[in-house]
Structure 1
Amino acid sequence: MKKLLVLAFAMYIPIGCVAQQKKVTSGTKQPNIVLLFADDAGYADFGFQGSKEMITPNLDKLAAQGVRFTQAYVTHPTCGPSRAGLITGKSQYRFGYEENNVPTFMSAVSAADGDEMGLPVEEITMADYLKQQGYSTAIFGKWHLGGADRFHPTKRGFDEFYGFRGGARSYFEYTEEPKEPQNKLERGFGKFKEHDGYLTDVLADEAILFIEKNVKADKPFFAFISFNAVHTPMDAKPEDLAQFPNLTGNRKIVAAMGLALDRAVGNIMDKLKELDVDDNTIVVFTNDNGGPSDKNGSSNYPLSGIKSNHLEGGIRVPFLMKYPGKLKSGIIYDKPISTFDLLPTFYKAAGGNLEDLKDIDGVDLLPYINGTNNERPHETLFWKRDARAAIRKGDWKLIRFPDRPTQLFYLPNDEKEMKNLSAVEPERFRNMYKELFAWETTIERPRWLLKKQYEKQDIERMDAHWDKKEF
């Protein structure tokens, strides 16, 4: 019977993954992995990022215990594509995941719409790789990588799922059918039942149950807590709102939502310590894109721009990593990294051979953080959305716009991207422009496109949050 089960599992593994099927057999105990992922949080909205308004003691403690990255980037400035890059360890543009997968009522213009927009089933996920290393895998919260059944987390390497397939939902129980069915709360596959209480707290509680179960079974685990906090709708608990008497409007609500997020993180971290596994657990905290300041009151200070554009405020995110025994505490790492680096970093820590990872763009970050490798993890990074695109090469960044000339910035002296140096550095400008186009010729066309009205809205939002820049 055991042989039949092994054969069935082997048949499930995607072609090309055979090399990863062996579980680690070395004497080193595999680390547990906890990925804490916020949604639409502002770059500045944490104590460890310098905020004097937000209350985030647990995340501040995590920052003090591990590494804080000052130039961490997402692979795209909106939710779905950003998640696709993170979970595959590669640039999602290479498989056509360029536009956000949106609810049906927003009217995508494509052969794929609504539930049919999702992470291609042939792509191998972070959970696939870790499961093949012997890990129990689970995701809690927002999926947003496809609503159709074939895209379901439990068919993409996750043993367990508690959350919602869509992009945004109420933090409180739905008392009637939601407008977008993808946002119903689901346990496992197809078991829909609403929660009691505030969702941010509930997701942490569910993750803790998963952690406890696997610690008891002495099995390494990967817990991906994909919070929808602090994405709209602006829902907060009255007692959390009361902690910010000097704030008003959405700024007050996002602060309360951030407080709940920090509390949830603290509960998970406390449980790891209580179970005596915190010293053998990698913990990462980051965010899916820049804060949409006009929607949820978030702040990306001192960066210009917001979610959905290629200014630093749209693509640079808070990022923390704790790995006891492997990374020193209180370290600041200031070279550019990307969220697609997490897959190879986790896989290597789990005992995997990096040579077995085929066709990815990420790198194992540990040698760079520890100083074994003093080069940059990435000399060049790219972003794209329709006619817009950006390239960061070294400390220089070029942004191509659909409605004005392309601009060039030197980030060390111009973090707000206010000084266009294209005329001062014509050769550099020309070479980077050509390199950006050359990269574009290597990627796939988008699998779906949104109506142009949304592109217009994004440009208007960018201009509104580009500090007093005149064109």
Structure 2
Amino acid sequence: MKFILKAAALWPLAILLSLSLSAQEKPNIVFLFADDAGYADFGFQGSKTMITPNLDRMAKQGVRFQQAYVSHPTCGPSRAGILTGRHQNRFGFEENNVPGFMSAVSAADNEEMGLPLEEKTMGEYMKSIGYRTGYFGKWHQGGADRFHPLQRGFDEFFGFRGGARSYFPYEKTPAEVQNKLERNFGNFAEHEGYLTDVLGAEAADFIDRHQKEPFLVFLAFNAVHTPMDATPEDLAKFPQLKGARQQVAAMTLALDRACGVVLDKLEELGLAENTIVVFSNDNGGPTDRNASSNYPLSGTKSTYLEGGIRVPFVMRWPARLPAGTTYPQPVSTLDLLPTFYAAGGGSVEDIKDADGVDLTPFLTGEQFGRPHKTLYWKRESRAVVRDGDWKLIRYGDRPAELYYLPEDESENKDLASAHPEKVRKLYKMLFDWEMTLERPRWLLGRKYEGMDVKRSDTYRDQSKLFAEERN
């Protein structure tokens, strides 16, 4: 409560700052994007185990969001929503673009598994208003050439097209293009050193080279996604941990270090004041795969419990936003594109059928209320609607569940039987929304759907996981 009151007291100051800076140049934009990180696995989220000084400092200098959501609990669809500002289910990107996990439908094959070409991306929108755009790291929006970042509005690219790869250089060049490290288009060569560090250095170099013009940096780390690769030096910082938990702690340390390289570059060049920096994650942590912690939330990646869809989220913009504050209302990563585009001088109305909103006026106190009264999620028969503070989860193999989140963010008290009228209302809202969506381009393979439902049951309560770290 103290944080919220402190934030409210600073909103008038933020409004004065925004008015005095209204005529200044376009802000630079840096998006620091983690992969498969746990909700609790950062110092600014309360972890006493993880070492994240750079991101903790950034949180103290900006706004920490208490209820930030992704639009899907897995990598590819979540990223498709961020890049377009539209719920990816609206254009049939309901599932991940990983051949082998999918069942082809709608006459689409593996070659079609990418962000549809008719969808305009963040890179294209920001270029249209004068930004230099760079994409670094994991793409995961299609491996074919026509889906390449340089074909989708980004001026420069350094990373890989697929969903995961080694953090260390391959001794033998991978056969599949998705796993190859690539500079711009078709220039394949392995890096030297540890990939997380290399990505941070590449993004900082881009900032250095384009410091005289407004830029967008989309830095999509593959950390802390599997494989569980960490350097011996980073592992040595966590002698009290074992196994995958030690590995994820070491990988998180490297992630924070790379973010620090980018943040330090902004300070060095005198750009920090008028640069929007956002840190977030693509979905909940997959506790069963990388020992990430989503405490106090239930669930993991691929589930629609809060631990699958609620993520860490920090925004820093010293020129306009008050430092050291929290924002309590639900927001979505779909809001990133509208927020960036509006900050750069564009009109949100120009974004085709946007589902996201510009967050800035809500953060400065120029606009009150919730950015989103209702949020939706869907994956085949499983689907969710959050209306206000009520959340309905629909399953394909059991009755729907109902939760009142202000009193039960861990989702331990199913209220469906106590509020049947609320269940009916939310069920209808969900059905009406589904009628507006495109047919899915692909469907998840049956065995993987079963694995995801099992995750929901297995990780209902994370309170006993890694409990010794919280004592």
Per-residue deviation at 1:105? Answer: 4.2
One-letter amino acid of the structure 2 residue matched with residue 387 of structure 1: S
Provide the rounded CA distance (Å) in 1 between the counterparts of 2:450 and 2:266.
Answer: 46
Q: Is residue 160 from structure 1 mapped to residue 159 from structure 2 by the alignment?
A: no
Deviations 1:368-409 (A, max 9, x none): 112222210000000000110000000000000111100100
Provide the rounded CA distance (Å) in 2 between the counterparts of 1:107 and 1:32.
Answer: 38
State the partner residue of 1:307: 301
Per-residue deviation at 1:461? Answer: 1.5
Residues 447-458 of structure 1: matches in 2 within 5 Å? 447-458=441-452
Deviations 1:235-284 (A, max 9, x none): 00100000000000000000000000000001110111001111111100
Q: Is residue 147 from structure 1 mapped to residue 143 from structure 2 by the alignment?
A: yes
State the partner residue of 2:52: 56
* Corresponding residue SS for 1:201: helix
Q: Is residue 382 from structure 1 mapped to residue 376 from structure 2 by the alignment?
A: yes
* Corresponding residue SS for 1:278: coil
Task: Tell me if the contact between 2:129 and 2:344 (Cα under 8 Å) persists in the aligned partners.
Answer: yes
Select the residue among 217, 225, 238 that pairs with 2:219: 225
State the partner residue of 2:104: 109
Deviations 1:48-79 (A, max 9, x none): 00001100000000000000001000000000
Residues 119-138 of structure 1: matches in 2 within 5 Å? 119-138=115-134
One-letter amino acid of the structure 1 residue matched with residue 73 of structure 2: P
The two structures have a TM-score, normalised by structure 1, of 0.92
Q: Is residue 281 from structure 1 mapped to residue 275 from structure 2 by the alignment?
A: yes
State the partner residue of 2:190: 194
Deviations 1:325-378 (A, max 9, x none): 210001100100000101110011101122322311111001111222221000
One-letter amino acid of the structure 2 residue matched with residue 307 of structure 1: K
State the partner residue of 1:336: 330
Identity of matched residues, %: 65
Change (3 A) 1:366 1:468: closer
Q: Is residue 461 from structure 1 mapped to residue 466 from structure 2 by the alignment?
A: no
Provide the rounded CA distance (Å) in 2 between the counterparts of 1:468 and 1:124.
Answer: 39
Provide the rounded CA distance (Å) in 2 between the counterparts of 1:58 and 1:458.
Answer: 33
State the partner residue of 2:400: 406
One-letter amino acid of the structure 2 residue matched with residue 151 of structure 1: F
Task: Tell me if the contact between 1:42 and 1:290 (Cα under 8 Å) persists in the aligned partners.
Answer: yes
Residues 156-305 of structure 1: matches in 2 within 5 Å? 156-178=152-174, 180-215=176-211, 218-305=212-299
Task: Tell me if the contact between 2:296 and 2:462 (Cα under 8 Å) persists in the aligned partners.
Answer: no
State the partner residue of 2:62: 66
Per-residue deviation at 1:177? Answer: 3.5
Per-residue deviation at 1:428? Answer: 1.2
Select the residue among 375, 390, 396 that pairs with 1:396: 390
Provide the rounded CA distance (Å) in 2 between the counterparts of 1:468 and 1:309.
Answer: 14
Per-residue deviation at 1:106? Answer: 4.0
Task: Tell me if the contact between 1:116 and 1:147 (Cα under 8 Å) persists in the aligned partners.
Answer: no
One-letter amino acid of the structure 1 residue matched with residue 234 of structure 2: D
Structure 2 unaligned segments of length 5 or more: list them: 1-21, 464-471
Per-residue deviation at 1:422? Answer: 1.2
One-letter amino acid of the structure 2 residue matched with residue 320 of structure 1: V
One-letter amino acid of the structure 2 residue matched with residue 236 of structure 1: A
Change (3 A) 1:57 1:446: same
Provide the rounded CA distance (Å) in 2 between the counterparts of 1:451 and 1:106.
Answer: 5
State the partner residue of 1:17: none
One-letter amino acid of the structure 1 residue matched with residue 104 of structure 2: V
Per-residue deviation at 1:425? Answer: 1.2
Provide the rounded CA distance (Å) in 2 between the counterparts of 1:115 and 1:442.
Answer: 26
Provide the rounded CA distance (Å) in 2 between the counterparts of 1:179 and 1:170.
Answer: 14
Task: Tell me if the contact between 2:70 and 2:283 (Cα under 8 Å) persists in the aligned partners.
Answer: yes
Corresponding pairs, count: 441
The two structures have a TM-score, normalised by structure 2, of 0.92
Task: Tell me if the contact between 2:297 and 2:306 (Cα under 8 Å) persists in the aligned partners.
Answer: yes
Provide the rounded CA distance (Å) in 2 between the counterparts of 1:107 and 1:78.
Answer: 14
Provide the rounded CA distance (Å) in 2 between the counterparts of 1:404 and 1:57.
Answer: 43
State the partner residue of 2:469: none
Per-residue deviation at 1:448? Answer: 0.8
Provide the rounded CA distance (Å) in 1 between the counterparts of 2:101 and 2:371.
Answer: 38
Per-residue deviation at 1:468? Answer: 8.6
What do you get for the CA RMSD once the two structures are aligned? 1.3
